[in-house]
Amino acid sequence: MTPLIEVRNLTHVYNAGTPEAVTALREVNLTIGRGDFVAIVGGNGSGKSTLAKHFNALLLPSEGEVIVDGLNTRDRSAVWEIRQRVGMVFQNPDNQLVATLVEEDVAFGPENLGLPPDEIARRVQDTLAAVGMLEHRRREPHLLSGGQKQRVAIAGILAMRPQCLVLDEATTMLDPQGQREVLETIARLNAQGVTVIHITHAMEEAVHCRRVIALADGRIALDGPPAEVFRRAEDLKSLRLVLPPVPALAHRLRRDGLPLGQSILTIDHLEDELARLARQRLAPRSGSGEASETADGAH
């Protein structure tokens, strides 16, 4: 099967040909598979939002090309098909809801697709239920919390039945409660088969993804499973990124000589590893002292 999104030699220059020309992306090559859960991380100015906007033809490449489900984003006639397939949730929850009622807003996308009224109503019902906002369907968006607004925005995208959901820093402006709500929602959607691309600068949000792509200065700097990417703490620092507290602590302890596994991402994992070490070191020495030599379980 063809990949969902294929990025070939993508370069993007803002204000090309003027003195203010800025190169935001440089020769990026990237393939995103169907059903994947990808985090794209990077600091300000790394080009991550520019990259995201190429996935649904909101921006077109200066050089190279982006192929979405076999459609080239340069093809003017394919634009609406591409946007139906790749939906996008933006950073500011206040600036992407169009209508004065939650259900009307969710209906906005399907209405643009020209679907029959019954079908739209069915989709609005289904997707609001999928993000847990059905009971708020008759409320006004400005009365909702940040997390609720973003869930409505997600429902509005889902109602177009896309194959891929791109979140362009959709958690940045939310409080921890709202962040949890959105992260739980997208994890659930991914489990149901929706491809999710989560753009963020919060590294802890990348922990539960399957793949992490770190951008720096318009280039892909790191690309791999979270455990592999987080292992390179020094590299991340130079990319304006900060390790989440737990992997950071694990990294520091390992640097100080504690024989901990390389792939510690979660608090449960670090707790278990430390408890194992403690058992070896603090238990009455009954002839099993040499066990600590094999403590580094991952290797």
Helix (H, G, I), strand (E, B) or coil at 40: strand
For other proteins, the closer of residues 1 and 176 by Cβ is 176
**Least CB distance from residue 153 to other proteins, whole Å?**
8
Task: Indicate the residue among 44 and 286 with the shorter CB distance to other proteins.
Answer: 44
* Shortest separation between residue 190's beta carbon and other proteins, angstroms: 20
Length of the chain: 299
- The least CB distance from residue 63 to other proteins, in Å, is 23
Least separation in angstroms between CB 164 and other proteins:
12
Task: Give yes or no for a contact between 73 and 81, defined as CB atoms under 8 angstroms apart.
Answer: no
Return phi, psi of residue 285, to 5°. -70, 100
Residue 21 backbone zone (phi > 0: left; psi -120 to 50: alpha; other: beta): beta
Smallest distance from the beta carbon of 113 to other proteins, in angstroms? 6
Closest contact distance (angstroms) between CB of 249 and other proteins is 6
Question: Which is nearest to 174 in space by CA: 165, 162, 166, 182?
Answer: 182
Residue 137: CB minimum distance to other proteins, A? 12
Least Cα distance to 158 among 117, 199, 126 occurs for 126
Taking the least distance from each CB to other proteins, the nearer of 72 and 92 is 92
Closest to other proteins by CB, 9 vs 177, is 177
Cβ distance 152 to 102 under 8 Å?
yes
Residue 148 burial by CB count (10 A; 0-12/13-18/19+): exposed, middle or buried?
A: buried
- Can you say how many angstroms the Cα of residue 21 is from the centroid of all Cα atoms in its chain? 28
Q: Specify the residue, 1 or 85, whose C-beta has the smaller distance to other proteins.
A: 85
Cβ closer to other proteins: 13 or 99? 99
Nearer to other proteins, 220 or 260 (CB): 260
Mind giving me the DSSP string for 66-122? Answer: EEETTEETT-GGGHHHHHHHEEEE-S-GGGS--SSSHHHHHHHHHHHTT--HHHHHH
Handedness of CA 179, 181, 187, 192 (dihedral sign): negative
